[in-house]
Amino acid sequence: MKSNFSISGLFCNSLGHKYVVTHKITNQIKEYRCVRCGKEVASNLKGKLEVITDKQRKAHQVLQSFIKKKINRKTTLYS
């Protein structure tokens, strides 16, 4: 059986995580990673942090791609 024990994980559990933004999907949705233990979370539309799953990560990639295409289309039309 593999143990998930680490000193940084213990530190985060007692004092809290130190998150930094890794991806900005929209103004409301961002992905974060703890610099100490590497835990990845994402903010939802209500502003709460939740552990990110592979399904959410794919959805965020699709959403980000859609938004980039929309912005590019706008700038092309008005240029």
Residue 30 domain-assigned (yes or no): yes
Instruction: Domain of residue 38: give its range.
Output: 21-77
Residue 37 domain-assigned (yes or no): yes
Residue 2 domain-assigned (yes or no): no
28-74 confidence digits (pLDDT tens) = 889 999 998 899 999 988 889 999 999 999 999 999 999 989 888 87
Strand order in the sheet with 49-51: 19-24, 30-34, 40-43, 49-51
Q: Give the per-residue pLDDT at 6.
A: 63
Residue 10 domain-assigned (yes or no): no
Q: Into how many domains does the chain fold?
A: 1
Residue 6 domain-assigned (yes or no): no
Residue 14 domain-assigned (yes or no): no
